[in-house]
Amino acid sequence: MSIDTCINNVGEYYSSHYLDHAFAGNLKEISTRWRAMGSAAPSRKVKALSLKFFKAKGQALEGNTAQERAGAGEEIRGWHAWFLDALGYAGPERFLFPVDSGKAVVPLLGRIDRHGRPWLMVLETWFCLPEASLPNGVPAEEPLEMPITAIDGLVVGDIPLLEGDIARAIAKCFSEEQAPRWILLLAGSRILLLDQRTWAQGRYLDFDLDDAYGRNEATTFEHLAAFLSRETLCPDADAADVIHDKIEENSHRFAHGVTESLQGAVREAIELLANEWVEDRRARQLSYTRLSTNEAGPDGNLEVTAERLRHEALVFVYRLLFCFFAEARGGELGILPIADDQYRLGYSLETLRDLEQVPLTSATENGTYVHEHLKMLFKIIHEGFNPVRKDAPQQQQLGSINKAFQIQPLTAVLFDPWATPLLQNARLRNRCLQKVLCGLSLSRHTQTRTIGRVNYAELGINQLGAVYEGLLSWKGMFADRDLIRVHPAEQDPLDRKTSTWFVAKERLDEFAANEVERLPDGKPRIFVKGTFILHLSGIDRIQSASYYTPEVLTRCLVREALRELLKDFGPAQADRILELKVCEPAMGSGAFLNEVADQLANRYLELKQVQLGQMIEPARYLDEKQRVRHY
């Protein structure tokens, strides 16, 4: 079960892929304990406030603006206090927090210290109504844009309140020497949980109470309380773990697991494609180790080695991964027009994805529709598609020019037809490519064994890089005779950590039954002569230095390296960051360069905001960061 719909993971505060597939499993221990507590559990206490919430919302609806609703009724005045009490923050002490070197103060509804420092600060603003409850034409009420106002019962002395909106107050609180780790912003139907480490990046959690109380499901409040309750967010014991830190750690582990699963799917796809090419050559009575003279490419090379075939299959698979990723993030990247019906229904990879589990007949399984579709897709990505051009091919003249989609040419080696001349000129059957698409598109959950689609929109660039780099030490070979695969007893030969060897079939009797890879019926698996095999032997595994560095380690190493480099960089030196040059002497798929660009961009924006005395709105932060990374 994924994260509840009332929780908005703004700016991907946590990995969305992890939240959708594994988050709920990490709450089992807490959920079990809270269910045993009955009505005393934080989740049950928050759920019990349903009537009070809707009374407060009803009173809020009587005011035309959020300001008019302030103190309009008992429910509105008491709502935030009741909500905090249910979460375990009983009777918070209200006080004024000095900012701007003591020149102004920010009113706080409460504060909790941990490890001898401020840990959580609670801010409140007026009761913001959900957008669906506002009259037509009235803009949505954004808590971060509400003005800073005094809190009832809190007397402001000689030092004035900080001027501006709540977003400015939060930024000032987070920039102080005694800054808290967390700020909890209460805004009626909206609750925001903000982390000092990610606030400037526009990443935080946003809770929609109108959605939560509207559905009033027990699991909804278990998820909500797991993030917000004092027990999980501010445990009394300093040594106790905070659930958010556990979730972040598990998120990294889950990302690594997804990467390993995708690596296996890519390896299988490479073997399927290479063996399909060999079968096609045999069916046409052509050699699979040498091309004829009229098949020679620009380089004139006629020899076909297993390594050459492996490389072409890898390029082909990475074209598919690129299309999966670009279509999944169509609105964000703008590379492939997945929102256009002509592209989506006529050319897209998504169209083939809809056919991935359609049973093939004896006639359709030997057809080549999928391959022809993919060749056309790869062609328009490489050459671009613009019906307005006078030189546009006739087959690209689709209906009305005003309605036809456009694609800018991506003239990279990846989609160049000459990057895969062997596969380009082959007849790859539907039954092979359907298996390839299924393997790359679907994943099986290791615990529930359920099958679901891989959401490429939620895969990071580091994960895709890990898949590629993890394949660099694998080699292709043609079986020179009938072979069997052997492995250490009791180990899974399909596990990438298991060392395996290929030996002649005639040596079968030399090995124990559990040392030979076997088919589901118990018979040994035979790799007949000519079979393409993607293989990493035990010796190769030991001698190869091709190890992909997990994201959690690249982040740590880069952070420590930049700490020394940037230690003397203040706001006045922000622009110097843009002049830095980075050398990565052992670059594989660019994991370290990607992390360096990310951290330097964050540091530049952090210093530049201080230098200019301007704060980037959280909604614009990711766009600004992307501009800096691009620069």
Structure confidence by residue, pLDDT tens digits, 249-284: 666 566 555 667 788 888 899 999 999 999 999 999
Plot region of 51 (φ>0 → left; ψ -120 to 50 → alpha; else → beta): alpha
What pLDDT shows up at residue 283? 93
Count of beta carbons in the 10 Å neighbourhood of residue 404: 19
- Pairing state between β 117-128 and 182-188: parallel
d(CA 39, CA 44): 5
Please count the residues of the chain.
Answer: 631
Mean pLDDT is lowest, of 102-111, 274-283, 394-403, for 394-403
Residue given tokens 């600060």 in the structure block: 121
Q: Which of 202-206, 225-229, 547-551 has the highest mean pLDDT?
A: 225-229
Among residues 214, 63, 72, which one has the least CA distance to residue 141? 63
Count of beta carbons in the 10 Å neighbourhood of residue 196: 16
277, with CB counted inside 10 A (0-12, 13-18, 19+), is buried
> Taking a C-beta distance cutoff of 8 angstroms, is the pair 324, 566 a contact?
no
Three-state SS for 126?
strand
Count of beta carbons in the 10 Å neighbourhood of residue 31: 18
Query: Cα 266 to chain center, whole Å?
Result: 19
Instruction: Dump pLDDT digits (tens) for 335-344.
Output: 888 888 888 8
Quote the tokens at residue 381. 């990505």
d(CA 383, CA 520): 46
Say which amino acid occupies 100: D
Helix axes 218-228, 243-283, angle to 10 degrees: 110
d(CA 451, CA 442): 7
Q: Give whole-number Cα distances, 344 to 75, 320, 351, 377, 452, in Å.
A: 50, 15, 7, 11, 21
Looking at the chain, the number of H-run helices and the number of E-run strands are: 23, 14
d(CA 505, CA 196): 62
What pLDDT shows up at residue 399? 43
Q: How confident is the model at residue 297 (pLDDT cuts 50, 70, 90)?
A: confident
Quote the tokens at residue 249. 């750690």
Q: How confident is the model at residue 73 (pLDDT cuts 50, 70, 90)?
A: low
Can you tell me the mean pLDDT for 237-248?
A: 68
CA-based torsion, 175, 179, 185, 186: positive or negative: negative
The better pLDDT of the pair 308, 95 is held by: 308
Say which amino acid occupies 289: T
What pLDDT shows up at residue 350? 87
Instruction: Say if pTM beats, i.e. exceeds, 0.85.
Output: no
What pLDDT shows up at residue 541? 46
